[in-house]
Chains A and B, each alone.
Chain A
Amino acid sequence: MDPILNIQNLYKNYGSVEILKDINVSIDPGDFLVLVGPSGCGKSTLLNCIAGLEPITSGRLDIGGQDMTDVSPKDRDIAMVFQSYALYPTMTVAKNITFGMKVRGVDAATQEAKLNEVAKQLQMEQLLQRRPGQLSGGQRQRVAMGRALVRDPKLFLFDEPLSNLDAKLRVEMRTEIKKLHQTLGASMVYVTHDQIEAMTLATKIVVMRGGVIQQIGTPAEIYNRPANMFVADFMGSPAMNLIPAKAQSNGEGSKIEIARDGHAPIVLHDTKNRDLPENVVLGLRPEDIAEPGYRSGQYVQKAECHVDIVEPAGADTFVVMQLGGKHVTARLHSDTDAQAGQSHPLAFDFSKVSYFEPNTGQRLN
């Protein structure tokens, strides 16, 4: 199967400032690609480049197997949903949705049919004669989606479409977008700074920072095997614990020693990885530090830890302690009896452990 979108060696400069550096991404038809990263990482610029709204400095960009590098947006067969929705304020919802078809000279009957189809799909038949100013945030969002859907393009582009909605609505719309992707089977590129959105929606995630791609992979790959400390820290909430430690190969695995203030160091045994450098950063997700009763398996190691803070959060209770000079969070069951200021036994599950080189931040295992 030919990729629906193929970006090769794309560079984008504003004057002498490099915004995007050597971007290489390719997605298959039906993929849901999410570009995620902190603000200023270049993800929106990349989306604008894909749309043709920003010219690229060098490189090549194919959509649907055709070179689109210098093609104007209107000829790329794309549709785009904007963060601000960008609804045309003086047009009714119906006109907003049909404007693209009108500009392209689609006949009125087809316009009408497509409009009704999309309105039904998004359940907004009763909104068609209103103007954007008379709609709520969620309704505007729907109209913006409708405007994109009606075009039936090769590629959908979303530029942080949910970030202007309140928390509850955002979760609802997220589900709806996912459902839409599944029913349409369309190819989508989606920009967000919200890593949860990225995890829930994507079939493929691109994590970006400073105009450089940090990692490309499925949500599971990104979550379980982050390529570097930036990705490890950025994806997941609470973030992955990154604990400075000393490693020493012994037998089949390694002895991991974590220093503590005012207490003897914790010594753990990783039976899976060996030949690590002496200084490493140990990466463990909060859920991989649990109460001993809830975790078992060959990679689980127990240790007594001094708990500093206990934060109940409904289903889970987070406890924070000081390990290797860092705050380390463990995700415990809500019925835990851990108390602040006291010692508590914890189980460290090494089955998904990550190791990073402390200076470069690159993954070691």
Chain B
Amino acid sequence: MTDLSMTTPQNPSKTGSNLRKIALRWGLYLILGVFVLYYVMPLYVMITTSLKSLEEIRTGSLMALPRDVTFDAWATAWSGACTGIQCEGLKPYFWNSVLMAVPAVALSTFLGAMNGYVIAQWNFKGANLIFSLMLFGCFIPFQVVLLPMARMLGLMGLAGSIPGLIFVHVIYGIGFTTLFFRNYYVTIPQDLVKAAKVDGAGFIRIFWSIFLPLSLPIIVVTVIWQFTQVWNDFLFGVSFSQAGTQPVTVALNNIVNSTTGVKEYNVDMAAAIIAALPTLFVYIVAGKYFIRGLTAGSVKG
């Protein structure tokens, strides 16, 4: 069959297969387009709902664009919505999350870099066992540490405080940050450390002068990963915080599920978007690194 078409070019069959190709192409784009709608729809609904008035929500359709755009819901969500008894909006909790995430991310990234450097380049007896034990720590269901951690934070005087949450996020973030840096540093030839040793540099000097300047890509990946994890966390937030120190995810859940007063769907949606903005922003600005972190965290290094 191939022989035939090669020796005698047949115009009808050729245009036929071209048509089929074009149809296939269109079909392909159609399917991809349908899934684009599936993934975009919730975000679209959230945004449009947040810009509608309650009246319009009750009378209009879910998918309809807002007739009168109003930012009242956003203002309420930011500074007036009730999370139970308090009605100060998301604002204080948003800052709680910032205060929690920044130190937690910085500390766990720093520790991960040092640990990864040691495990990848200064391999000593038992280092791999330690690495395996740390790695396994990434996979435990955190429910299994909730109870003792609650008591431990109490003993340390950190119960219900933001430093307590930072502590928890650093402890349970080390496994992943170490994994990231270890897998990155293990690709750097060992000769580099040897050369620097002969040059007279020591452990700290080699890290500072040679490895750290090389690490920008993996630092970005790790920071993004950790930031997303810490910002989006709910379990630790709801377990180890108290009124006033709650992170934004817990506050959002409280706003949405608060039973007092009228259900303000537009405020719920505005609050949800506010809570999602930092991580969405990071994703849009540095999506490449975000994906690298996701895949690095799951595919072997």
Contacts and interface: CB of A to CB of B under 8 A. Distances in A.
Contact of A103 (B189, B194, B201, B213): B201
Given A51-B194, A53-B194, A88 B210 contact: yes
Interface string B176-210: 00000000000001011011111111100100011
B198 A51 contact: yes
Interface of B is mostly: helix
B199 A74 contact: yes
B66 to A, nearest CB: 52
B210 to A, nearest CB: 5
Interface residues of A, number: 27
A84 B214 contact: no
A100 interface: yes
User: Which of A51, A74, A91, A157 has most chain B Cβ within 10 Å?
Assistant: A74
Given A51-B194, A99-B196, A86 B189 contact: yes
Interface stretch (A75-83, A202-210, A287-295, A323-331): A75-83
Contact of A90 (B198, B202, B205, B210): B210
Contact of B198 (A74, A84, A91): A74
A73 B199 CA distance: 8
Given A90-B210, A90-B213, A103 B195 contact: no
Contact of B195 (A48, A72, A80): A80
Q: Say what secondary structure dominates the interface of chain A.
A: loop
Interface string A17-58: 000000000000000000000000000000010011100000
B198 A78 contact: yes
A90 B214 contact: yes
B188 to A, nearest CB: 8
A88 B209 contact: yes
B192 A86 contact: yes
A104 interface: yes
A53 B189 contact: no
Contact of B191 (A79, A86, A103, A157): A86
A87 B200 CA distance: 15
A87 B199 CA distance: 12
A89 interface: yes
Nearest to B202: A74
Contacts of A91: 209-210, 213
A99 B198 contact: no
Contacts of A104: 200
Interface string A85-97: 1111111000000
Contacts of A100: 198-201
Chain B contact residues (Cβ within 8 angstroms of A): what range? 10 to 19
A347 B199 CA distance: 56
A86 B195 contact: yes
A89 B192 CA distance: 9
A78 B197 CA distance: 11
A263 B192 CA distance: 60
**Residue from B194, B198, B205, B210 with most neighbouring chain A CB atoms (10 Å):** B198
A171 B267 CA distance: 76
Contacts of A99: 196, 199, 201, 209
Contacts of A88: 192, 195-196, 209-210
A85 B210 CA distance: 15
A48 B214 CA distance: 25
A73 B189 contact: no
B198 to A, nearest CB: 5
Nearest to A79: B198
Given A51-B198, A99-B201, A83 B214 contact: no
Contact of A84 (B189, B199, B205): B189
Interface string A154-168: 000100000000000
B214 A103 contact: no
Contact of B194 (A79, A82, A87, A89): A82
A97 to B, nearest CB: 10
A73 B197 contact: yes
B192 A80 contact: no
Specify which of A80, A86, A91, A147 lies most central, judged by the most chain B CB atoms within 10 Å of its CB: A86
Nearest to B191: A86
Contacts of A86: 189, 191-192, 194-195
A41 B234 CA distance: 57
A74 B191 contact: no
Contacts of B200: 74, 100, 103-104
A338 to B, nearest CB: 48
Nearest to B205: A103
Contacts of A79: 198
A296 B235 CA distance: 94
B121 to A, nearest CB: 12
Contacts of B201: 74, 99-100, 103
Nearest to A78: B198
A104 to B, nearest CB: 5
Given A80-B195, A86-B195, A100-B200, 12 more contacts: A74-B197, A74-B198, A74-B201, A82-B191, A82-B194, A82-B195, A88-B195, A88-B209, A88-B210, A89-B214, A90-B210, A91-B209
22 contacts: A74-B198, A74-B200, A74-B201, A79-B198, A80-B195, A82-B191, A82-B194, A84-B191, A85-B191, A86-B191, A86-B194, A88-B210, A89-B214, A90-B210, A91-B213, A99-B199, A100-B201, A103-B199, A103-B200, A103-B201, A104-B200, A147-B199
The 6 closest A-B pairs by CB, nearest first: A100-B199, A86-B191, A86-B195, A90-B213, A74-B200, A82-B191
